[in-house]
Structure formats: C-alpha cells, structure tokens
Structure 1
Amino acid sequence: MTTSALRSDTPGLPDQGEARRAWQTAAEAIAEAERPIAGLPEPDRRSAGQRAAAAAARDAARAIRARFLDAHADAVYDHLTARRTVDLRLAELVTAAATAYPGLVPTTEQLAAERSRPQAAKEGHEIDQGIFLSRVLASPTAGRHLLDTMLLPTPRALRLLPDFERTGTADLGSVRIERRDDAAHLTMCRTDSLNAEDDRQVEDLETAVDLALLDPAVRVGVLRGGEMTHPRYRGKRVFSAGINLKSLHAGDISLVDFLLRREMGYIHKLVRGVRAEQPAHWRSATVEKPWIAAVDSFAIGGGAQLLLVFDQVIAAADSYLSLPAAQEGIVPGASNFRLGRAAGPRLSRQVILRGRRIRATEPDARLLVDEVVEPSGMDAAVERAVAELRGPAVVPNRHMLNVAEEPPEEFRRYLAEFALQQALRLYSDDVIGKVGRFTEGKQTEGEHPS
C-alpha cells in the first residue's frame, strides 16, 4: 500500500499522511540517539560505564518512540490493519510494524538474535515492543480492535477442528483434549516440568481452548493437570507450576508470544469466548462456554492466575495456591486486575506483594476456590460440576457476570499499562539475577514447593 493511498480526507479518521511524515523525522532522531550503541561490545561484556551509555541512548530513543506513538498510534494501527479491515494478531502486528516503520519496533532478525542469548545477555529490544503495544492498547479504537482480533480462533485450531469433531480427541504436545459426552477435558501434560508454562504451552492451550469452544458438541470445558514424571511428584497430578524459570533465564520466554499472548489469547477466550467468523449483527459476536478448573497438588504463579477466570474451581484438600511475584520480580499477568475483585485488596496484597501461600483448607481459600475435596474424590467432584454447569441458562448468565465483573474497557486499560511494565520487568537487573539463582539448582518454579 502506498503512502498516497493512506492519506485520509475523512473527518474523524487519523491522518496517516501526517503520521508518515512525523515518523520520518522521528526515525532519523531515533537512529541518531542509538548511534553510540553500535560501537559497544555485547551487553554481557560491557563495563559499567558502557552499560550506562547504552542505557542513556536507549532511553533517549524510547522517549522519541513514545512521543510519536502518543500522537499517532491510531494512524499507525490503521495503516497496519488497512483501517481495521485486516485482523493482525500480536505477533503479526509487531512484524508488520517493523516493516512499515523501521526502527519503531525490533525486526525479526533482531529478535532472532536476541532469542539466541540468555536473558542477561540481551539488548532489551522487546521493551520497544512493549512501548508500541502499550500505546495501541491505550487507544479505545485500536486497542479494542486488537483485543477483538485476539478472540479469533487460531489457524491451527481451525485446521484441527474437523478431525477433533469427528474423533473427540487431539494431542497437541503439552496439552491433550478429549471430549467425554458433552464436556471437553483439557489435560496439561508437561510431565517433567510440573506444567511450567512457556511459549509452546501457551500455543497449545490456546488451540485446545479454541477447539473446546468451537466444537458444537461441547457444552462445558474442564482444565486439569496430568500425572507427572518429575522425581518429586512422580505419579501425582499437578495443576501448574507457573512460568518456566529455566526458559526465562535462557531467554526463551517472549513478551509477545508468551506474556501478552497468554493474557490476550487463551485466558481472554476463557472469559469472553471465541469470536465467530461471521456473527449475526444482532447477536453476541463470541461463542462462550462455562469452564471448570481442577487443582491437584498446587497452582503456583500462572496456575493461580488461571483460577481467577474459571466459573468453578475444585481443589484437592492437600493442594495450595500462590502468586510468588515478589520472588520472581515480574507482574503476575492480570492477577493485579482480578484478584482484588475476587478476594479483596488486603488478601491481594498479601498474596502478590508478600508471597503468601494459601492452602486449600484455609478459610481464605474459599474466596478463590468453590469446593475442596479429598484427592480421591476429585474425579467425582469434576463430574458433579459438569452436570451443574451444562444447563442452557448458564452461558448467558456467566456472560452477564463477566460483563459486570470485568468490563472490556477496564481490561483494555489494564493491559495497556501491563504491556509496558512487564516488558521493563523482563529486563530489570533484579529479575535477571533472581532467575539466575532460581535456575542454578532448580529447573522450574514448581520445583521448590514445600
């Protein structure tokens, strides 16, 4: 598409021609600001003075990017999406931005080079993605369109759907899905890492959620952890150990494909449903279903975050929940948005800021868990929950509860701030140091529960 085709004389629409002219000036200033970095050694080989010089150069360039986007985010987004007629998922959007606005966000080549390095040796290019996406999400127009786009089913799910509808099963790698009667049972099966999440598991979980939502024979979804081969939990079911700290230390946890896609992809779909390809204008644009979580052993970090969006949570009596954000140094997804609504501000601060662990049998656990049963009774409890949630009035009522409890515009505004804050946290000195200590003797977050 040419620049001339992007100019708009329509009142109320962003002037893309003005944005392109402003970007030419901004791009030159960014290149000049970052020029000192080109002569420096790799990040992990820099002296203290060189690190300070690189940080100053990055700060100057990022200030220019932020000012440009503060003024032109809507025009940029409209350019990339042909005035919101093309649906670009997160990864596609940042790739398109790197091509159309060189220097605004990192290129595919820059990200590939970064991905080959441990977290401590990276330049931190993902922070520029965080700046870009925070400004896009801050826009009521562009941000809402991006969130709606992320509710579309993934191409992988659409490819697998006919076979899943026929067989009722799919093995996605880190997640298995099986339809039993009218319930889709999703089993997380990273057996050696206690279901610690990484980019691959986010991809598999979103595919599985899509299949459950798109299959007309499914009325209820169930998420549970499988039996582990990990030495400390061999033969036991585990729900989730949260983020895989070994992958984070190795530089294999990405801002876009993990931390943001997770929140805006499958977790968002658990709340809002999957967007229909051609919805009737007078009906809801999404297909929604009720969801049950069954917690065995523990739900740590990201595992505990998941529980906040489920319609019913069943926990084994010997299980516990925790959000060790203070130890990890990162922001625990949308928990800061949701936990206070579920459990109140005091408990939220105890859990998120001080790392309080809540055992399923504690009174406070009833704010987060619907039913606590002995481990031997989990299967029966899940079946009872499925029977309770398959009623025809459940879906419209859960829809209205979610509209009241989690208004889409409030979620969008939270994500706008989260995109930047989480990017900054990924590259903070304390996180890099803590992740390194975690992984010296412990493979994942889930390996140090007591």
Structure 2
Amino acid sequence: MNFETVLFEKKGRVALLTINRPQAMNAINSQVWWEMGNALEEFANDPELWVAVITGAGNRSFCAGADLKEVAAGRSLVPEGGEKWGFAGITQHFVNKPIIAAVNGFALGGGTEIALSCDLVVASELATFGLPEVKRGILAAAGGLLRLPRQIPLKIAVEAIVTGESMTATDALRWGLINRVVPHDQVVPAAIELALKICENAPLAVRTSKEIIYQGLDVSLDHPPRAWEINEKLSSEVLSWEDAKEGTRAFAEKRKPNWIGR
C-alpha cells in the first residue's frame, strides 16, 4: 500500500512506521487512523517482519493526540471501517509481534495512549507524557484510563489523570512507564537496536510469549486456573515447532540458531 501520513519502511526484519504530519505535531486525523491500521495489518501479515517501531516525524512531537481542529470543524476522526482498530488504528489493534514506541518528543493525550498500546517504549530525554483531557472537559477514553493504572502505581496514575499534568521522560522511567531514556537524536536508532535484539530470538516463541503475557494479565492464577491453561496450551505448541528443535541444537552445537519462523 502507498501511505502518505504514515511512512512505512522496512529495515531488515524491522518495520519502521512514522506518523507523518509534522506540520500538525503528528496529530491523528482520519487518514492517519486508516493508514496506521492498515500499516499494522501489513506488518502483522508479513512473515519477513518480526518487530515494529512507531515514531513521529520531525524532532518535536511523537504525537499530539487527536486533531482537535478536525473535531472542532465537525469532521470525524474515525474512518469507515477503522473503529475495529481503536484510536489511531492501534489502541484496540492486537498484533502478536512486538511493537516499540520511539517517543521523539511530546506524547500528549492520544499520543500517550499510543505509547501505552505498545509493548516497549524508548523515549528521548526531551519527551513528555500526559493525559490532559480533563483540562478540556473530555476523557482519555482511547485506553488511557484503562492502561495507565495497569502500567504504573495506581496513585501515580490517578494523579496524572485527574490533574492532567505532564510527566517527564525521567519520571516516566522512574515509574516504569517506559523502558529507557536516550539522547534526543538517538531515540529511533536506540529503538531499532532494541528491535534487532528481539529479532535475534525465535520469532514464533517471541509472539507466543507476547500472547501469553497479555491473555494472562487479567486472569486468575489460582481459581479457576485459567492463566495456567492458556500458558500450557500455547507453550506446548512451541515445542512442536522446528525453531524449538533448532534452538536446542544450536545451543548444543555452540552456534547461532537459524530461525525459520515455524
């Protein structure tokens, strides 16, 4: 597909998706929503791509959230058929491959909600995060109210939500909202470096690990033992794959494994 507001680049096994509206601080309109949803579908369905990195164009903004000028003009942000993916084509769009947010500036409102939707976050030292919706009389309804309290301590999350104040990259790292902080000009290279570390591992084992993590998060470990059922079902499938045999052979033979993705 040819995208305009989401640039899609292939860097070996890594897909680099760039929200490309720097003139609007990479705010989300219906075109970005549609193109990001389709870009993630393309990434998910391409067996040669194992990890995605999402960033914003320019050096100021990762994503300023919803394009409120579009909303004020009475134009819908939701493209026809795009509601199934959630805000920006990602917040309810589960892909079983790892997705890394490379936050290269401020991530406000929906920008923070996009980062919360990703599995890992690498942030510029100049990045800021925040859910300022209450300051505008609206809610962080694209997952912010659901995900933030699950990813950082509850009282810290509640304060951020009800005050609408922003959080620095340093504070986000301290509370475990992000994985690492890097110099501003290194955020995308650092995210790609992290993606390449993931790509050293068996792709199906990585994807199944992600599925077990998210399916098991809100399921009891004890009564009933649904989380263990999910774990055992998907783990047993891993053992039947060629990559599982290759991994153990490579370890025994003291060589780098040659993953085939099945």
Both proteins in one fold, TM over 0.5: yes
* Aligned partner (choices 252, 255, 275) of residue 75 of structure 2: 252
The amino acid across from 1:243 in the alignment is: A
Counterpart CA distance in 1 for 2:75 and 2:148 is: 28
Alignment correspondent of 2:26: 195
Question: 1:208/1:256 Cα in 2 relative to 1: closer, same or farther (>3 Å)?
Answer: closer
User: Does 2:107 correspond to 1:299?
Assistant: yes
The amino acid across from 1:246 in the alignment is: K
Q: Deviations over 1:188-219 (max 9, x none)?
A: 11121011111111101101111111111101
- SS at structure 1 position matched to 2:55: strand
Contact (CA 8 Å) 1:196, 1:244: kept in 2 or not?
Answer: yes
* Aligned partner (choices 128, 134, 137) of residue 320 of structure 1: 128
Alignment correspondent of 1:401: 213
User: Does 2:189 correspond to 1:380?
Assistant: yes
Alignment correspondent of 1:215: 46
Alignment correspondent of 2:152: 343
Report which of the two has the higher share of strand.
2
Counterpart CA distance in 2 for 1:365 and 1:196 is: 27
The 5 Å alignment of 1:7-156 reads none
* Residue ranges of structure 1 left out of the alignment (5+ in a row): 1-159, 161-170, 228-235, 274-287, 408-450
Alignment correspondent of 1:41: none
User: Does 2:198 correspond to 1:389?
Assistant: yes
Question: 1:312/1:252 Cα in 2 relative to 1: closer, same or farther (>3 Å)?
Answer: same
Alignment correspondent of 2:243: none
C-alpha displacement of 1:300: 0.7
Contact (CA 8 Å) 1:247, 1:253: kept in 2 or not?
Answer: yes
Counterpart CA distance in 2 for 1:214 and 1:243 is: 27
Report which of the two has the higher share of helix.
1
The 5 Å alignment of 1:274-285 reads none
Counterpart CA distance in 2 for 1:185 and 1:365 is: 27
Question: 1:362/1:183 Cα in 2 relative to 1: closer, same or farther (>3 Å)?
Answer: same
Counterpart CA distance in 2 for 1:389 and 1:358 is: 28
Question: 1:375/1:364 Cα in 2 relative to 1: closer, same or farther (>3 Å)?
Answer: closer
Contact (CA 8 Å) 1:198, 1:258: kept in 2 or not?
Answer: no
Question: 1:406/1:388 Cα in 2 relative to 1: closer, same or farther (>3 Å)?
Answer: farther
Alignment correspondent of 1:181: 12
The amino acid across from 1:324 in the alignment is: P
Contact (CA 8 Å) 2:56, 2:62: kept in 1 or not?
Answer: yes
Counterpart CA distance in 2 for 1:192 and 1:297 is: 14
Question: 1:174/1:256 Cα in 2 relative to 1: closer, same or farther (>3 Å)?
Answer: closer
- SS at structure 1 position matched to 2:10: strand
Question: 1:383/1:201 Cα in 2 relative to 1: closer, same or farther (>3 Å)?
Answer: closer
The amino acid across from 2:74 in the alignment is: G
Counterpart CA distance in 2 for 1:207 and 1:221 is: 13
Tell me the TM-score normalized by structure 2.
0.75
Question: 1:365/1:250 Cα in 2 relative to 1: closer, same or farther (>3 Å)?
Answer: farther
User: Does 2:61 correspond to 1:238?
Assistant: yes
* Aligned partner (choices 145, 163, 169) of residue 354 of structure 1: 163
CA RMSD, 1 decimal: 2.2
Contact (CA 8 Å) 2:112, 2:129: kept in 1 or not?
Answer: yes
Count the aligned residue pairs: 214
- SS at structure 2 position matched to 1:224: strand
C-alpha displacement of 1:328: 2.3
Contact (CA 8 Å) 1:213, 1:289: kept in 2 or not?
Answer: yes
Query: Larger deviation: 249-258 or 297-306?
Result: 249-258
The amino acid across from 1:352 in the alignment is: I
C-alpha displacement of 1:366: 3.9
Alignment correspondent of 1:35: none
Question: 1:307/1:340 Cα in 2 relative to 1: closer, same or farther (>3 Å)?
Answer: same
Structure whose CA Rg is larger: 1
Question: 1:258/1:368 Cα in 2 relative to 1: closer, same or farther (>3 Å)?
Answer: farther
Q: Deviations over 1:8-66 (max 9, x none)?
A: xxxxxxxxxxxxxxxxxxxxxxxxxxxxxxxxxxxxxxxxxxxxxxxxxxxxxxxxxxx
Tell me the TM-score normalized by structure 1.
0.45
Alignment correspondent of 1:12: none
C-alpha displacement of 1:362: 2.2
Alignment correspondent of 2:98: 290
| Identity within the alignment, % | 26
* Residue ranges of structure 2 left out of the alignment (5+ in a row): 220-262
C-alpha displacement of 1:369: 0.7
Contact (CA 8 Å) 2:70, 2:77: kept in 1 or not?
Answer: no
